[in-house]
Amino acid sequence: MKIASGMLLALALAAALPLSAQASQQDNAPAGDSSVSSAEPMPLADRGLVLAIADGDQRAIAVGERGHVFVSESRQDWRQVADVPTRSTLTAVAAAGNRAWAVGHDQVIIHSADGGLTWVRQRAQPFDPDNVDDPRNGAPLLDVLFLDENRGFAVGAYGLLLRTDDAGATWERVDLGGGAASDEVPAEDEASEDWTFSEEDLELDAETDPHLNAIVRTGDGSLLVPAERGAAFRSVDGGATWERTQLPYEGSMFGAIGYAGRRVLVFGLRGNAFESDDLGDTWRTVETGVELTLQGGDRLGENGAVIVGNDGLVLVRGDDGQLQRRKAEDAGVLSDVLPVGGSGQVVIVGENGIARFVAQ
């Protein structure tokens, strides 16, 4: 799972096509269009900005700036994947079986059918200078979730929610008021200009179309999307319909973790975290003891969690609810974390790349 806050965004800021078709589209793309240009292999890329990490059947996958993708079978030794078909910053990655999807800026979505070793571009929709009145124009995607190998969702800025039922061959824009909007988004929609958001841009229209920072599924199949300014959206029917709800804090939540039943944990600005057993009908405060922003997290055991944030913060919550506060020295802003089996170790990613950390 992954969510990128305004701070991290500022730092970074068709069916799956065969390789021959990709090359043709790249040749026809305007010069400098990062969304359809291949990522470049770079020395020490795994020490640069890495925003998200996920575990697949055979290996872990991490993604970050300039379209960089990294894989590791050992979860310790990482290598950069060649020929990734975008240079747009990738903000989130999800795996289902041996398939994986990554999303990011320019509404890029890329897909791997072999556990992250090779990738094809399913979609790209950079900023269109002829459509400046649409706040979703070129808006970045911030998280991605797949329920199985075919059904998935991607969420992003200005209330942008996309859905696929065919493994990403097509993506449909969803109206959070209920159901899908009438316009279907093509798998590829190239434009002539690269564009990123400033923090001021990302604050516009936040109340009417809040930025959707994450999407998580609970044990009973319900979905929750934490958003900006205390907003959240939930679905109890697999994403067919959505209801807007309010969190007990008016600031932004950047991450969520799902548990059995309808239990969910959300976290975000200034160390705020809340837990619900009923998908947000009622909430209770989780005392983190910090005011550092919490950026990303993952489930630990049946009821625990590991959450990371600014200034190398690592919070470890055991099954008993007890919270430990740790710091990864020289890690800077941490954006995501992946537990490694039952070893007590985790993989942390953020502005200074990928590293192992002893969390317990």
pLDDT digits (tens, 9 = 90+) for 201-253: 444 444 578 999 999 999 999 999 999 999 999 999 999 999 999 999 999 99
pLDDT of residue 7: 47
Average pLDDT over residues 312-334: 95
Q: Strands (DSSP E) along 218-352, which ranges?
A: 223-226, 231-235, 243-246, 253-258, 264-268, 273-276, 284-285, 294-300, 304-309, 313-317, 323-327, 334-340, 345-350
DSSP 8-state secondary structure symbol assigned to residue 35: G
Give the pLDDT band of residue 296 (cuts 50, 70, 90): very high
Give the pLDDT band of residue 68 (cuts 50, 70, 90): very high
pTM of the model: 0.86
Contact 196, 105 (CB under 8 A): yes
Q: For 282, phi and psi rounded to 5 degrees?
A: -135, 150
**Six token digits for residue 298:** 């993952």
Length of the chain: 360
Could you read off the pLDDT of 45-67 as tens digits, one per residue?
999 999 999 999 999 999 999 99
Strands 273-276 and 120-123: unpaired
CB-CB contact of 213 with 3 (8 Å): yes
Bridge partners for 309 per DSSP = 294
Order across the sheet with 180-185: list the strands: 141-146, 152-156, 161-164, 171-174, 180-185
Tokens of 18: 């065969």
d(CA 2, CA 237): 23
H helix count then E strand count, the chain:
3, 28
Q: Where are the domains positioned within the chain?
A: 14-164, 304-360
Residue range 321-330, pLDDT digits in tens: 899 999 999 9
Query: For residues 122 and 14, is the Cβ–Cβ distance under 8 A?
Result: yes
Q: By three-state DSSP, how is residue 7 classified?
A: helix
Q: Which two tokens stand for residue 283?
A: 């909430």
Q: Considering only CA atoms, which of 11, 10, 49 is closest in space to residue 350?
A: 49
Spatial contact of 228 and 284, defined as CB atoms under 8 Å apart: no
Q: Which CATH architecture has domain 14-164?
A: 7 Propeller (2.130)
pLDDT tens-digit series, residues 273-288: 999 999 999 999 999 9
